[in-house]
Every structure is written in structure tokens, then in C-alpha cells.
Amino acid sequence: MIAGERMTADFLTLDAADNVAIALRDLADGEILDGIKLLEAVPHGHKVARQDLAEGDPVLKFGQVIGAALAPIRRGAWVHSHNLRFVTGLARPAAMSAAASAPLPRRRTFMGYRRPKGRSGTRNYIGIIASVNCSTTVCRAIADAANRDLLPRFGNIDGFVPIVHGSGCGSSTGGEGQQLLQRTIAGYCRQPNFGGVLLVGLGCEVNQITLYTTGGATETRAAFDIQKAGGSRAAIAEALGILERIAGAANAQFREERPVSDLVLGLQCGGSDGFSGLTANPVLGRAVDLLVAAGGTAILSETPEIYGAEHLLTARASPDVAERLMQRIRWWEAYTSQHGASLDNNPSPGNKKGGLTTILEKSLGAVAKSGRSPLIECYGYAEQVRERGLVFMDTPGYDPVSATGQVAGGANLITFTTGRGSCFGCRPTPSLKVASTTQLFRQMPDDMDFDAGRLLADPSGSPDSLGAELYELLLDVASGQATASEMLGYGDNEFVPWAIGAVL
């Protein structure tokens, strides 16, 4: 258990200051548990009041404010959207600065592919990347033909992956949306999990392939336009000839021992529930601390889902990094307000059904997956991550868009925590799923890779031991062990660059 927690068979109290506890099972109206008489039924994973609260009183979970009482709440009542509201401006407990570094793990290497400029791949795919939506159908046809006709001849290649999207034209050449798309595609072109890349354009689009080909064709890189090739069928035939050459070069690459410092781990959470912040995210946080201690990098993202918990990150950042993070928070406040929304609109219906009420509650749990290491840098969307350690990348909370930015930034591994269940893949980067409860792990066995719910079953357990186990699994996956989503074939439809700006 985490220091400060108190758990019975029925309740979990995360901090001595908390005035709510978490139901560990469906609780019935009238039950008397741990000296508290329940005034109504409380669903599994939801909150129950530990004391009487007046209207406007702060509600505390994790030892932090998650909102205020919308009306008087009696001890033993169910605390959720009907009587708890999102507020700003309430005093928050001080955040602790970064803890001491995690111990240096015994295992500090994995079996990966040596790439240029000191990088390593965890997979050896070949990407067929569309510059514009108009070339997506041809890119898919090229990938299908290559996987059918070429892949059987090149046993050291993981596959040919179509990277397609719905943009690339109908926008300003200098607009923010075009800049983000260009940065994202450029990041995928240099992604270390690609042993080779073929970029395919239509020919007349805003997002010209010449933006990415300043160095010319190489043994593992090439590009062409469909219009110049003579149309769709001619383009597919030309592509297969090019890919045969690229595949020959990529097939000559083999796994070798690489340092953990070459790993860049994207941190994702989706379909969160009331247990995500209690099990899956803290367990991942401990694995992150071990990764960082070994010299690796972890990317925390999803800016709307750290809102209200940003003080836990700025407390372990330099003043410059903290200010850059706060600038992004202020941008999101203005952005959502401009569109008539609130950052508290972020929790989804599934989040709320699983026990989460406000964005503050969701964010406090989400930040736990970053561990306790210092935050050393703050990046814009899809920027190339250069520093080693824990970093932040500004992205939306929508998982495909967020993960796309991380992969463009260099993430060669992704860990995805979930409480409600997720069916997400992210080729060329393997995505490893961590279930917040054993019930979910058993309910969706084909999609889950790791059961963090074991933390609740063992009162003497610790996130440290499960975190060390997850760290080992991360290195196994980086070394080639297939994840559940890879075995299911996920990953061809999750390239979703962040779309900002007018469509013209």
C-alpha cells in the first residue's frame, strides 16, 4: 500500500486528510461499514462521504481538492456528480517537491535496432506515409500489396504500415494546423521504429512531399507523387519496386543489446475509472521512476487531463519549465472558453460511470503515472524529444491525437493505463495496456497486458513491487515481445494528427 492509505475489505481511504473514501465493491443502502452507516447505495469505485460536509466545503481525495459540495452532504452519502461540482480558486494543499531518485534497476539494456543519431527502434516496420488525404487509398493499397507480396521474402521486417490521415490540403500554407501536421509527419519519417519510409503524395496538395525530402532519397527513404507516377495503379507498381529496395536494407538490420537510455516511453491513459489513479497509474509511475533512473525518457501528455493537478508537476520542475507548462494551461483555458466549453467537460460518460466526477479528480489520478522524478522539459505537440528523463508534451486528452504526437516526438514504446477498457494500438510503436482492476483484466483478456488491480487484492502490496514487474515487462516488449494490441492487429487507424485551424 501507499503511505497514508487505509484499506478495509469495503473502503479505501487514500490520505488521512480525505473526507471521502472509495468503495471497493458495490455497497448497499443501510450497511454499516467501518463505523459509517450508508445512507444510499454506492457503486463500486465511487466515493462515500466520511464526514458531514456543508455546501461549498472542499472535497478531498488523494489529500487534494477535487471539487466542492454542491449541497450539504451527510456522512455515509454517495458523493458524485449530483452533489459535487468543479470549482477553481479553492486553497490546495502544498505539493511535495520531487522525491529522491528511484534505485538503479538491475536490468539496464534491451534488445533493439540500432538507428542513426544514437537512437534505437523497438520494432522494424516500414512506413507508407500519406502527405494528404487524397493519397490515403493508394497508401493502403500499397501496404496491402507489400504485406502480401514482399513481406514473406523479408523475415526480419515486422510489416508495412500505412500512415494515413484526413488532412494535408484545404488549409493555409503557413497556418498553425499545417505546421502541426508537417511537424507530425516529419516526426514519423524519422521514427526509430521504422526501418524505412516511403512518403506518397498526390502532387497538388498544400502539404507537398518536398517539405520532407530536402536530403533526397536514401537506401531506406523515398518519396513520389501519384500524379507524376501516372495514376493509382502505376503508383502502386512504382511503390512496390521502391519498397523492395527499402525492404532489403531494413531486413539486414538485427536486434542487438541497446541501453535503456534509448527508450522513449509515451504515457497514456484512457477509459479511466475510480481505480485508475489508485492502481494502474501509480504502478506505471513506479516503472517510470525506474526507467528514468536507468537513463530512459518518459513523456507525460494530455494537457486537459493534468488540469487542476499541474501544481504537482511544477513543484518538481525548474522555474523556466514550470512557466512553460503554465503557459500551456492558460492556452487551454482560453481555447476551451473560446469554443464555449470548460476543461471540466473532459471526463467522459464512461469516466463518470466508473466513479470519476470532476476533471480535478481525473487529473490527480492521471498525474500519478508520471512517478516522482523531476520534470525536466516541456515540449509543444509532436516536437522532437531530445532530453532524457521525465518530460511533458502538450497534447489534447483524446488518446489517438495525444499518442500520435508522442510517437512523432520519438516515443518507441507506449504504456496505456485503463479502467473501463481500451482497444488501442499505435503502429509502429507497441502499446502495452495496464488494467486498473483484476475484473477488467479478466473481462478483456485479449486486450490487456498487465493487471495492476492486484494492488487492491493484497493489503500488504506496494506499487513499488508491481512497478518493478511492469518495468521488466516494458523491456521485454521493447525487445520484441508482442503486446495484446499487436496480436490483434491494431494500429493502422490510430494516426490522428492534432487538427487546428480553418478548413478552407
- The set of cell numbers assigned to 182 is 508537417
What pLDDT does residue 425 have?
Answer: 92
Give the strands of the sheet with 297-300, arranged side by side: 375-379, 390-393, 297-300, 264-269, 413-418, 431-435, 450-451
Confidence of residue 46 (pLDDT cuts 50, 70, 90): very high
Per the CB < 8 A criterion, the answer to whether 470 and 284 are in contact is yes
Q: What backbone torsions phi and psi does residue 17 show, to the nearest 5 degrees?
A: -80, -10
Q: What is the pLDDT of residues 451-488, one digit of tens each?
A: 999 988 875 668 899 999 999 999 999 999 999 999 99
388-426 burial, b at 16+ Cβ within 10 Å, e below that, comes to bbbbbbbbbbbbbbbbbbbbbbbbbbbbbbbbbbbebbb
Question: What is the reported pLDDT for 54?
Answer: 95
On whether the CB atoms of residues 501 and 177 are closer than 8 A, the answer is: yes
Contact assessment for residue 419 and residue 329, using Cβ atoms and an 8 Å cutoff: no
Q: What is the pLDDT of residue 170?
A: 85
pLDDT in tens, 381-402: 999 999 999 999 999 999 999 9
For residue 96, name the pLDDT band (cuts at 50, 70, 90): low
Tell me the pLDDT band of 63, cut-offs 50, 70 and 90: confident
- Residue carrying the nine cell digits 517539405: 211
Q: Which helix (H) or strand (E) holds 243?
A: helix 232-251
Those residues whose C-beta lies under 8 Å from the C-beta of residue 391, and which sit 6 or more positions away, are 297, 298, 299, 300, 375, 376, 377, 378, 379, 385
User: Which tens digit of pLDDT belongs to each residue from 197-249?
Assistant: 999 999 999 999 999 987 777 889 999 999 999 999 999 999 999 999 999 99
Confidence of residue 274 (pLDDT cuts 50, 70, 90): confident
**Angstrom distance (rounded) from CA 275 to CA 378:** 28
Under 8 Å between Cβ of 366 and 353 = no
C-alpha cell at 91: 486553497
pLDDT above 90 for 273: no
The dihedral built from the CA positions of residue 143, 146, 152 and 154, taken in this order, carries a sign that is negative
User: What's residue 97's pLDDT?
Assistant: 55
* 124-149 per-position pLDDT tens digit: 999 999 999 999 999 999 999 999 99
Contact criterion met (CB below 8 Å) for 361 and 67: yes
Q: What is the model's pLDDT at position 272?
A: 87
DSSP state of 256: E
Cα–Cα dist 182/486, whole Å: 27
CB-CB contact of 296 with 411 (8 Å): no
Which one-letter DSSP state was computed for residue 50?
S
Q: How many CB atoms lie within 10 A of CB 386?
A: 11
Report pLDDT for 363.
Answer: 87
Residue 91 scores a pLDDT above 70: no
Mean pLDDT of the chain: 91
How many CA within 13 A on the CB side of residue 389? 13
Q: How many residues does the chain have?
A: 504
User: DSSP label at 380?
Assistant: -
Three cell numbers written together for 28: 448497499
Query: 503: buried, middle or exposed (CB in 10 Å: 19+, 13-18, 0-12)?
Result: exposed
- The structure's pTM equals 0.93
User: DSSP letter string over 130-194?
Assistant: ESSGGGHHHHHHHHHHHHHHTGGG-TT--EEEEE--S-SSSS-TTSHHHHHHHHHHHHHHT-TTE
